[in-house]
A and B are shown apart, each in its own frame.
Chain A
Amino acid sequence: ETGVTQTPRHLVMGMTNKKSLKCEQHLGHNAMYWYKQSAKKPLELMFVYSLEERVENNSVPSRFSPECPNSSHLFLHLHTLQPEDSALYLCASSQDWGSGRANEQFFGPGTRLTVL
């Protein structure tokens, strides 16, 4: 595997389900990101992890819970979602030099989530 991978590619869940999205990067990067892409809207940054520490959380509802066990893996745990949470969820990674000079982000293919 190369680059950034995401599983599953498609997910359909009910509002009472609990599921998790997985992201893995094979680029040796130390920062990882979750984005939400809804139709007709710009990409929205959800969470940023740098060196496995969450550094940004853009007012995301608590029904989304990220986890970063190591620099190569990032999870997004989903619980009691709403139909409006249906979207494409994109993971990205970059090399963060820590002084504000992070390199460009490389994206995974995304998980298409549908909440019924």
Chain B
Amino acid sequence: AQTVTQSQPEMSVQEAETVTLSCTYDTSESDYYLFWYKQPPSRQMILVIRQEAYKQQNATENRFSVNFQKAAKSFSLKISDSQLGDAAMYFCAYRSGVSGSARQLTFGSGTQLTVLP
């Protein structure tokens, strides 16, 4: 079974600074997808960024980028130029690419990010 670990329950960053949230996962599969979701106080879970395991290039979405290290099974999220609206709980998630089991998302326990003005 796959597991996802987020070792930082809480993080804080100064507005306009950069912060990196860590995520590691354990799997024996070679084909999978990784996601970062954001859950602000409104509770609506929002997809931030996704990474396909077969792609070597790190995904980037505006101020959000990932550092995907497949051999190390590491998938960290970097937020540049942090804004007050980035404050939220961030979840790392894994999804298998194997047919028949691909629908289930396995989530980490989350990292609560505080942005300081």
Could you list which residues of chain A lie within 8 angstroms of chain B, going by C-beta atoms?
31, 33, 40-43, 45, 48, 50, 55-56, 88, 90, 92, 94, 96, 99-102, 104-110, 112
Contact = CB atoms under 8 A, between A and B. Distances in A.
Contact of B43 (A45, A55, A109): A109
Contact of B91 (A33, A43, A102, A110): A43
Contact of A100 (B4, B43, B99): B99
A42 B47 contact: no
Query: Interface extent on B, as a size class?
Result: 20 to 34
Interface in B32-55: 33, 35, 37, 42-47, 50
A106 B47 contact: yes
A68 B42 CA distance: 26
Nearest to B45: A107
A42 B102 contact: no
A88 to B, nearest CB: 7
Given A42-B108, A104-B47, A104-B50, A48 B103 contact: yes
Nearest to B110: A42
B101 interface: yes
A56 B106 CA distance: 14
26 contacts: A31-B103, A40-B109, A42-B106, A42-B109, A48-B103, A48-B104, A50-B103, A55-B103, A56-B103, A90-B45, A99-B99, A100-B98, A100-B99, A101-B97, A101-B102, A102-B95, A102-B102, A104-B33, A104-B35, A105-B47, A107-B45, A107-B46, A108-B44, A109-B43, A110-B43, A112-B43
B42 A45 contact: no
B103 A42 contact: no
A94 to B, nearest CB: 8
B107 interface: yes
B100 interface: yes
Contacts of A88: 43
Nearest to A107: B45
Contacts of B46: 107
Given A33-B103, A42-B106, 9 more contacts: A31-B103, A43-B105, A48-B103, A50-B103, A56-B103, A100-B99, A104-B35, A104-B50, A109-B42
